[in-house]
């Protein structure tokens, strides 16, 4: 047994180590050390909690066994998962945090003496509010993340599911939740607590189904944020500083990422949450199907253009991840560099299905991170570049965002690909991107369309180089 | 008048949000994916609540409903802790700055 003051100090140390873990991510050099701080912080928190409970009987054995089982599953997944599956992995992990929060809240509700919150049927009102908040947010995180996981994994269609009155239904459920918390505090009856959890599960599903595939970066960040607030809610219930600090950190981290993602699409957070582009704009994409001349080429043309260029900028997008083309891409770049071509990579904030998705894939393919640039850093370079190689990106290069105020993506910051001397656009067909609008770039004089699978085309170019 | 301990915890909470705000803005965009996986791992510190819930109570009666929920939460959080930190480690190991290549 250790005194509760000492325990609180250890939790504070854990919290500080977690802050340092995030701080480490400010540069790749310090990031590995940061991760280590995080692991130490976690070990301290778990260690002192076990000591403080001081129960080393059968229960402790179970604890060790369960830690081992859970840990092995986690470690197995961590080592086996391909990097392209990172978005669904993160969504899956969020769901676990959410469900764990729900379980801890249930446990605290059923056995409040353990956490000194009063006795069953006579729990402090503040604690009841805190645990219902933790349970509700946890439950929303759980089902929401499951839906996000299914969409990212392709088990569920990525297109938005909307129905009449959806937003009103969500609003009504939200009001019902507030009412239920009120009744729970008044009557202390179990039934209200269980109803809160069930309705929150439902809200989680309803919140995520109307959001389309390409808005997933926002959704994942948002669920990241929710899992933090759920942890903070439980932290207040259990009066545990480590949980409160961590919950606040994770909550604000997810919120900032959501903000960055929304800004990358020039949309408000509510616009994204209230349902997708894809749903509203499908009609407008169909009637503008007139035939416009398109120049298309093959791998030899592309190889010739790039070999004779002095600088090439690569613009990767979700299509690169789908085709698993990152390794082939890096080989192509290596071959170009041997020919004395200067090659850099340009990454749009919302490229891919989660924040930083493209960076991880390029890192996996051994691309040095100082060759990879963000939108603001590289956008002026397109004007001086000979060839832009667009692989798997679409909407984020569409010049319409700058020229046509009618367009749904008007105002979205885009990569100024059209300013480069020539554009090589790898794509399987002329079909519009997620936003459902035609890409003006396809029909420009300086654009050469390469109709093929991203990986296949890149490999063919390597052969011709 | 004495200050309710809740106010202290609430202060910690608010200040931590601000710390989180400034720390996360300084994270380089290329590390946003590892940021998500590591925040995932650290939010599993919820395991401390699960441990207390699971081990509390009389030693003979370890399989009370409340305990079982605690044990379940331990498994979930453990998957997340090990999975989250290890996958972050694996990703961060890939971020390398290569030596200038020989032409």
Whether chain A has a CB inside 8 Å of the CB on B89: the answer is yes
CA nearest A245 in B: which residue?
Answer: B16
What residues are paired with A450 via a beta bridge?
A: A426
pLDDT digit string (tens) for A155-170?
A: 887 777 777 777 788 8
- Average pLDDT (A65-85) is 92
Under the banding of pLDDT at 50, 70 and 90, the label for residue A289 is very low
Tell me the DSSP string of A44-91: HHHHHHHHHH---SHHHHHHHHHHHHHHHHHHHHHHH--GGGHHHHHH
Q: Of B29, B34, B37, B45, which to mutate for an interface test with A (greatest number of A Cβ within 10 Å)?
A: B45
Chosen for mutation from B25, B49, B50, B70 (greatest number of chain A CBs closer than 10 Å) is: B49
Residues of A in contact with B97 (CB under 8 A): 28, 368-370
Q: What mean pLDDT comes out for the span A273-279?
A: 54
Q: What is the DSSP letter of B98?
A: P
pLDDT of residue B13: 94
Interval A192-218 mean pLDDT: 88
| H-assigned helices in B1-103 | 5-25, 32-43, 47-55, 65-94
Do B70 and A370 lie within an 8 Å CB cutoff?
no
Kindly list the residues from chain B whose CB atom is less than 8 angstroms away from the CB atom of residue A72.
Answer: 82
Q: Which pTM value belongs to this model? A: 0.88
In the numeric block, which tokens belong to residue A262? Answer: 């929304």
Residue A376 has pLDDT above 90, yes or no: no
A125 touches chain B (CB under 8 A): no
Lowest-confidence region among A241-250, A255-264, A271-280, A371-380:
A271-280
What pLDDT is attached to residue B3?
A: 85
Tokens read off for A34: 């940061």
Contact A262, A220 (CB under 8 A): no
pLDDT band at A117 (very low <50, low <70, confident <90, very high): confident
Average pLDDT for chain A = 86
Q: What was the pLDDT predicted at A286? A: 43
Q: In whole angstroms, give the CA distance from residue A249 to residue A412.
A: 29
Give the angle A23-A26-A32 at the CA atoms, nearest 5°. 75
ipTM computed for the complex: 0.92
pLDDT score of A197: 94
Tell me which H or E stretch contains B26: none
Cα–Cα distance list, A288 to A281, A431, A437, A439 (Å):
12, 12, 9, 12
Q: Along the 103 residues of chain B, how does pLDDT read in single tens digits?
A: 788 888 999 999 999 999 999 999 999 888 999 999 999 999 999 999 999 888 876 555 667 788 889 899 999 999 999 999 999 999 998 887 765 444 3
Nearest to B59 among A55, A90, A231 (CB): A55
Residues A280-292, mean pLDDT to the nearest whole number? 48
Cα separation, A90 vs A102, whole angstroms: 19
Residue B17 Cα, gap to closest chain A Cα (Å): 5
> What pLDDT, on a 0 to 100 scale, did the predictor assign at position B60?
59
The pLDDT-based confidence of A35 (bands split at 50, 70, 90) is: very high
A147: pLDDT strictly greater than 70: yes
Which pLDDT belongs to residue A281?
42
**Confidence check: pLDDT of A285 > 60:** no
Cβ separation A100–B50 shorter than 8 A: yes
SS3 A294: coil
B42 reaches A (C-beta below 8 A): yes
**What percent of chain A lies above the pLDDT cut of 90?**
35
Closest CA relative to residue A217, chosen from A400, A70, A87, A395: A87
Chain A to chain B Cβ contacts (< 8 Å): 377
A positions 207-226 inside 8 Å of B (CB): 220-221, 224
Please judge whether B51 and A58 are an interchain contact, meaning their C-beta atoms are less than 8 angstroms apart: no
Given this model, what pLDDT does residue B82 score? 95
> Residue A347 pairs with which residues in a beta bridge?
A374
Contact B38 A22 (CB under 8 A): yes
Checking if the pLDDT of A231 tops 90, the result is yes
Over the stretch A409-442, which tens digit does the pLDDT of each residue have? 788 888 888 888 888 888 887 777 666 677 888 8
CA gap A319, A455 in Å, rounded: 10
What does DSSP assign to residue A240?
Answer: -
For the record, the structure tokens of A463 come out as 């052969």
Q: CA-CA distance, A319 to A153, in Å (whole number)?
A: 15
Whether residue A236 lies within 8 A of chain B, CB to CB, comes out as yes
Residue A390: helix, strand or coil by DSSP?
A: strand
DSSP A78-99: HHH--GGGHHHHHHHHHHHHHH
- B36: nearest CB among A34, A100, A224: A224
Query: What residues of A are labeled active site?
Result: 395
Mean pLDDT of A189-195: 89
Classify residue A198 as exposed, middle or buried by CB count within 10 Å of its CB (0-12, 13-18, 19+): exposed
Q: How far apart are CA A321 and CA A362, in angstroms?
A: 10
The string of pLDDT tens digits covering residues A300-337 is 888 888 888 889 999 998 888 888 889 999 999 999 88
Identify the bridge partners of residue A346 per DSSP, sorted by sequence position. Answer: A373
Does the structure show a pLDDT above 80 at A456? yes
Q: Confidence class of residue A106 from pLDDT cuts 50, 70 and 90?
A: very high
Distance CA(A131)–CA(A279), nearest Å, equals 37
B13 vs A53: which has the higher pLDDT: B13
Nearest Cα residue to A245 out of B11, B13, B19:
B13
- For tokens 């949309």, name the residue: A267
Please compute the mean of the pLDDT values over residues A55-61 and round it to a whole number: 76
Cα–Cα nearest to A203, from A263, A120, A142: A142
Chain A contact set for B48 (CB, 8 A): 11, 45-46, 49, 238, 240, 242-243
Q: Mutation test of the interface with chain B: which of A29, A43, A253, A365, choosing the one with the most B Cβ atoms within 10 A? A: A253
Cβ separation of A126 and B6 shorter than 8 Å? yes
């Amino acid at each position: 047994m250790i005194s509760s003051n000492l325990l609180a100090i250890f939790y504070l140390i854990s919290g500080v180590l977690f802050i340092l873990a995030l701080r480490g991510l400010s540069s790749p050099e310090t990031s590995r050390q940061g991760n280590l701080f995080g692991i130490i912080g976690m070990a301290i928190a778990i260690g002192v909690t076990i000591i403080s409970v001081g129960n080393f009987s059968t229960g402790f054995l179970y604890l060790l066994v369960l830690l081992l089982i859970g840990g092995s599953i986690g470690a197995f997944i961590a080592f086996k998962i391909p990097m392209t599956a990172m978005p669904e992995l993160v969504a899956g992990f969020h769901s676990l945090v959410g469900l764990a929060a729900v379980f801890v809240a249930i446990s605290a509700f059923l056995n409040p003496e353990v956490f000194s919150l009063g006795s069953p049927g006579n729990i402090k009102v503040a604690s009841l509010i805190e645990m219902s908040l933790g349970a509700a947010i946890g439950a929303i995180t759980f089902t929401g993340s499951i839906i996000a996981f299914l969409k990212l994994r392709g088990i569920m269609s990525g297109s938005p599911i909307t129905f009449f009155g959806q937003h009103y239904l969500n609003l009504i459920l939200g009001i019902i939740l507030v009412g239920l918390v009120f009744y729970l505090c008044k009557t202390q009856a179990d039934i209200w607590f269980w109803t809160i959890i069930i309705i929150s599960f439902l809200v989680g599903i309803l919140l995520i189904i109307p959001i389309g595939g390409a808005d997933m970066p926002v959704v994942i960040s948002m669920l990241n944020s929710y899992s933090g607030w759920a942890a903070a809610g439980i932290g207040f219930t259990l009066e545990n500083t480590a949980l409160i600090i961590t919950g606040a950190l994770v909550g604000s981290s997810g919120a900032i990422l959501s903000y960055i993602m929304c800004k990358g699409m020039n949309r408000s957070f509510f616009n994204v949450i209230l349902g997708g582009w894809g749903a509203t704009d499908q009609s407008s994409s169909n009637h503008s199907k007139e035939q416009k001349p398109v120049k298309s080429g093959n791998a030899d043309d592309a190889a010739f253009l790039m070999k004779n260029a002095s600088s090439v900028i690569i613009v990767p997008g979700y299509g690169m991840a789908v085709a698993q083309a990152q390794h082939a891409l890096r080989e192509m770049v290596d071959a170009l560099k041997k020919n004395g071509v200067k090659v850099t990579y340009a990454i749009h904030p919302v490229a891919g299905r989660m924040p930083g998705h493209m960076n991880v894939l390029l890192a996996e393919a051994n691309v040095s991170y100082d060759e990879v640039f963000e939108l603001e850093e590289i956008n002026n370079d397109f004007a001086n570049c000979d060839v832009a190689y667009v692989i798997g990106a679409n909407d984020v290069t569409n010049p319409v965002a700058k020229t046509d105020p009618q367009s749904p993506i008007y105002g979205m910051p885009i990569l100024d690909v059209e300013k480069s001397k020539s554009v090589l656009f790898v794509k399987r067909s002329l079909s519009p991107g997620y936003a459902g609008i035609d890409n003006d770039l396809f029909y420009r004089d300086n654009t050469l369309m390469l109709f093929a699978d991203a990986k296949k085309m890149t490999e063919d170019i390597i052969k011709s180089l | 008048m004495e200050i309710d301990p809740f106010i202290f915890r609430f202060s910690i909470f608010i200040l931590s949000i601000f710390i989180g705000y400034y720390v996360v803005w300084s994270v380089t965009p290329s590390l946003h994916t590892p940021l998500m996986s590591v925040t995932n791992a650290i939010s599993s510190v919820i395991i401390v609540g699960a441990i207390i819930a699971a081990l509390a109570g009389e030693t003979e009666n370890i399989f009370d409903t409340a305990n079982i929920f605690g044990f379940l939460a331990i498994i979930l959080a453990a998957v997340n802790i090990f999975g989250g930190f290890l996958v972050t480690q694996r990703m961060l190991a890939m971020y390398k700055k290569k030596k200038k290549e020989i032409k």
